[in-house]
Amino acid sequence: MKYFLWVIPKLGILNIFSVFIYKVKCKISYYSYKYPLVPYIEKGPMFINNNIKIRQKISSESIAAITKKAENIIKGSFQYFSNKSYYLGSPPNWFLDPINNKNINNTKIHWSKLNEFSDQVLDIKIIWEPSRFDWAMVLAKAFNITGDSKYIDTLNELIKNWQIGNPINQGPNWKCGQEASIRMMQLLLAKYIVNQHKIHSVPFIDFIQEHCERINSTISYAMAQNNNHVTSEAAALYIGGAILIEMSGIEKKLRKKAIRWHNKGKAFLENRVATLILNDGSFSQYSTNYHRLLLDTLNIVEFWRKKLKKSSFSDNYYTKVNLGINWLFQMTNPESGNVPNMGGNDGARLFVTTNTKYRDYRPTIQLSTALFKNNLCYKSGPWDESLYWLNIERPLKNIEINYKSIVNKYGGYTILRSNNSYGIIRFPQFKFRPSNCDALHLDLWHKGINILRDGGSYSYSDIGSFNYFAGNKAHNTVQFNDHNQMPLIKRFLFGEWLNSQFDKQITQLKKIDKWEASYKDFMGCSHKRKISVSSKGDWSINDELWGNSKNYTIRWRLLPGNWRKNKNVFIGDEAKIIVIANDHQVNTQISNGYESLHYFEKTKIPVLEIYGIHLPAKIQTKIIFKD
Range with lowest mean pLDDT among 187-196, 389-398, 611-620: 389-398
CATH 2.70.98.70 matches 406-625:
yes
With bands split at pLDDT 50, 70 and 90, how would you rate the model's confidence at 229? very high
Backbone angles phi, psi at 393, to 5 degrees: -65, 135
114: Cα separation from own chain's centroid: 25
Helical (H) or strand (E) element with 328: helix 315-331
Q: DSSP state, 310?
A: P
261: Cα separation from own chain's centroid: 25
What distance in Å separates the CA atoms of residue 493 and residue 392, rounded to the nearest whole number?
A: 41
277: Cα separation from own chain's centroid: 15
3-state SS, one letter per residue, for 194-219: CCCCCCCCHHHHHHHHHHHHHHHHCH
pLDDT above 70 for 606: yes
With bands split at pLDDT 50, 70 and 90, how would you rate the model's confidence at 118? low
Question: How large is the average pLDDT for residues 334-353?
Answer: 94
Q: Which residues of 541-550 are buried (b: 16+ CB within 10 A; e: fewer)?
A: bbbbbbeebe
Question: How large is the average pLDDT for residues 197-213?
Answer: 94
DSSP 516-568: EEEEE-TTS-EEEEEEEEETT--EEEEEEEESS-S-EEEEEEBPSS--EEETT
Q: Which residues of 517-536 are buried (b: 16+ CB within 10 A; e: fewer)?
A: bbbbbbeebbbbbbbbbeee
What distance in Å separates the CA atoms of residue 435 and residue 587, rounded to the nearest whole number?
A: 30
Q: What is the pLDDT of residues 130-172, one digit of tens each?
A: 999 999 999 999 999 999 999 999 999 999 999 999 999 999 9
What distance in Å separates the CA atoms of residue 543 and residue 499, rounded to the nearest whole number?
A: 18
Range with lowest mean pLDDT among 71-75, 451-455, 458-462: 458-462
Q: Could you tell me the CA-to-CA distances from 489 to 3, 5, 440, 493, 547 in Å, in that order?
A: 7, 10, 22, 6, 23
Question: How large is the average pLDDT for residues 175-192?
Answer: 97
Question: How large is the average pLDDT for residues 419-445?
Answer: 96
With bands split at pLDDT 50, 70 and 90, how would you rate the model's confidence at 273? very high
Q: What is the pLDDT of residues 469-490, one digit of tens each?
A: 999 999 999 999 989 999 999 8
What distance in Å separates the CA atoms of residue 272 and residue 295, rounded to the nearest whole number?
A: 13
Question: How large is the average pLDDT for residues 516-534?
Answer: 96
Backbone angles phi, psi at 292, to 5 degrees: -65, -40
pLDDT above 90 for 513: yes
Question: How large is the average pLDDT for residues 490-501?
Answer: 92
Angle at 466 between CA 524 and CA 235, to 5 degrees: 105
Range with lowest mean pLDDT among 109-123, 337-351, 446-460: 109-123
- Quote the mean pLDDT of the chain: 93
With bands split at pLDDT 50, 70 and 90, how would you rate the model's confidence at 536? confident
Task: Please compute Rg for the chain using Cα positions.
Answer: 25
With bands split at pLDDT 50, 70 and 90, how would you rate the model's confidence at 560? very high
pLDDT over 70 percentage in the chain: 98
Q: Which residues of 81-92 are buried (b: 16+ CB within 10 A; e: fewer)?
A: bbbeebebeeeb
Range ranked top by mean pLDDT from 378-382, 526-530, 583-587:
526-530
pLDDT of residue 120: 61
What distance in Å separates the CA atoms of residue 398 and residue 406, rounded to the nearest whole number?
A: 23
Residue 509: helix, strand or coil by DSSP? strand
pLDDT over 90 percentage in the chain: 83
Backbone angles phi, psi at 469, to 5 degrees: -70, -30
pLDDT of residue 396: 65
> Which has more pLDDT, 50 or 352?
352
Question: How large is the average pLDDT for residues 249-261?
Answer: 93
Q: Which residues contact 178 (CB under 8 A, 6 or more apart)?
A: 222, 228, 229, 232, 233
> In this structure, are residues 497 and 7 in contact, taking their beta carbons and an 8 Å threshold?
yes
pLDDT above 90 for 599: yes
pLDDT of residue 351: 95
Q: What is the pLDDT of residues 52-68, one digit of tens each?
A: 766 667 889 999 999 99
Domain ranges of the chain: 1-34, 58-173, 406-625
What distance in Å separates the CA atoms of residue 223 and residue 243, rounded to the nearest whole number?
A: 23
Helices (H), 395-446: none
pLDDT of residue 57: 79
Q: What is the pLDDT of residues 14-26, one digit of tens each?
A: 999 999 999 999 9
- Residue (of 461, 453, 483) closest to 471 by Cα position: 483
Backbone angles phi, psi at 514, to 5 degrees: -130, 150
Question: How large is the average pLDDT for residues 114-143?
Answer: 88
Question: How large is the average pLDDT for residues 225-238?
Answer: 97
Provide long-range contacts, Cβ within 8 A and 24+ apart, for 562-566. 563/590, 563/606, 563/608, 565/589, 565/590
- Residue (of 358, 354, 362) closest to 337 by Cα position: 362
pLDDT of residue 250: 85
Question: How large is the average pLDDT for residues 222-232?
Answer: 95
Pairing of strands 488-490, 478-480: unpaired
